[in-house]
Structure 1
Amino acid sequence: MKKIVGVFCLVTVLFLSSCQVNKKAQMQALADCEYDVESVEQVKFNGKKLDAYKGADGNYNISSLAGIAVALFSKELPLEGKINLKITNPEAKRAAINSFKYMIEIQGSPLFEGTVDQNVDLSQGQSAIVPLTFKANIFNKAKENGFDRFFDELFNKKSEGFLVLKIKPSFKIAGQNIYYPSYITIDKNFASKLFKLFK
């Protein structure tokens, strides 16, 4: 009986040790992947495509347009779109990703948080595109900073750190999602991508 218990304990220890090694290897695979914003699509502000706000000088003039004043009464200023995130595995070891948490920060505070379930299994050199959609009400942030200054910074100056895109990928072990311990910063100047890469 003691031998059976001993063998069982040994198998358990070996199993747990193997799981820890596997977990560490898969965590490292997530860290080694390259994450890039391939494109941004279907971008709208206050229900309209961005081109509707572009002036003859090439800049975006938001606060002076009809429709914005109405939105201020409703306290709703939605910014929405779809991000096509490109993931590439440059390493020899396989990278398996089960789902993602993603976040858009504005001036260091969370603006939007979402989750997408998509299995991505990448061998060395392989890439995959994962769509991340977002829709967030930026009214409070705009009011806090002053509407004119906020809109000018968001749509024209697009300073680094104003809008930041982050993700937290996960892998699955024994039916459970194991997320990367912290968010990975993908783009510190995401506001610029909204205008340069949107289709």
Structure 2
Amino acid sequence: MRKIIGFTAIVALLAGCGIDRQAKELRALEKCRYEFVSADSVLLAGTDVNKLIANGRVDVSRLPGVAMGFLSRDIPLSGVLNLRITNPTNNLAGIQQFAYKIEVEGREILDGTSELPIEVPAGETVTVPVRLKTNVYKFLSDGQTLKKLLAFIQSARDGATDEKVNLTFNIKPTLALGNKQINYPGYIRVDKQVDAHFLVKNGLIPTTR
């Protein structure tokens, strides 16, 4: 499911400023289909998250880097989220830069900015690496959401759950108007229900079996 807020207004603004190319590319981007593929090299306070799970350790609060991060309110998370984008239109779809937010069960867990341009030719599918680099202190301080997510990860690792988790990826394009940049007034939403099969299939969670 994708939802655009204020799309007509921003396209009209771009056209009025004589930037027809950006208007066409943004309009095509709105019509694209989005799919989560995988996540690579995810590090939490310098520790490989996948290795933690493989070792059966999901209590991240006991990691030295995380423990220190709670004191400084700065717990870094980095990695790469691979997003598959299919452009069904006859026009090039693209943006030069965008801000993003990722939510789990409606709770924001991280946000950031990607400066890697996205271009999806007409009728083609492209896998885009979105580099993640953010402070997840606020998320890890949310005991209720964190507890549910860790329980899901443990059950998925043991192959003992059919439960699904709602994951949302929000994209806010940044547009160039002369020498200025303006933020898109709304978000392109990519919603997906993630189950244990998806996580194991894409190597996000190693199983014990």
1:46-195 superposed matches below 5 A: 47-54=47-54, 62-63=58-59, 68=62, 73-74=67-68, 75=70, 80-134=78-132, 135=134, 136-137=136-137, 138-141=139-142, 144-145=143-144, 149-156=148-155, 159-161=164-166, 163-177=167-181, 179-189=183-193, 195=200
Q: Which runs of 5+ in 2 are unaligned?
A: 1-13, 157-162, 205-209
Would the aligned equivalents of 1:27 and 1:180 in 2 still touch at CA under 8 Å?
Answer: no
**What count of residue pairs does the alignment treat as equivalent?**
176
Partner of 2:37: 38
Q: SS in structure 2 opposite 1:29?
A: helix
CA distance, structure 1, for counterparts of residue 63 and residue 39 of structure 2: 27
Which letter maps to 1:30?
L
Letter in 2 for 1:139: L
C-alpha distance 195-78 of structure 1, shift in aligned 2 (>3 A): farther
Instruction: Tell me, yes or no, if the aligned pair for 1:35 and 1:85 is still in contact at 8 Å.
Output: yes
Q: Percent identity?
A: 23
Q: Compute the displacement of 1:155 (Å).
A: 4.7
The runs of at least 4 aligned residues of structure 1 exceeding 6 Å deviation read: 20-23
Shift in Å, 1:140: 0.2
Q: Alpha carbons of 1:22 and 1:50: their partners in 2 closer, same or farther (altered >3 Å)?
A: closer
CA contact (8 A) 2:43 2:77 kept: yes
- Amino acid in the other structure paired with 2:171: I
Distance 2:192 2:58 in 1: 23
Amino acid at match of 2:79: G
1:189 is paired with a residue whose SS is strand
Gaps of 5+ in 1: 1-14
Match of 1:169, SS state, is: strand
One-letter identity of the residue aligned with 1:197: N
1:120–1:128 contact (8 Å) kept in structure 2: no
SS at match of 1:181: coil
Alpha-carbon distance between aligned partners in 1 of 2:194 and 2:63, rounded to the nearest angstrom: 26
Higher-Rg member (1/2): 1
* TM-score after normalising by structure 1: 0.64
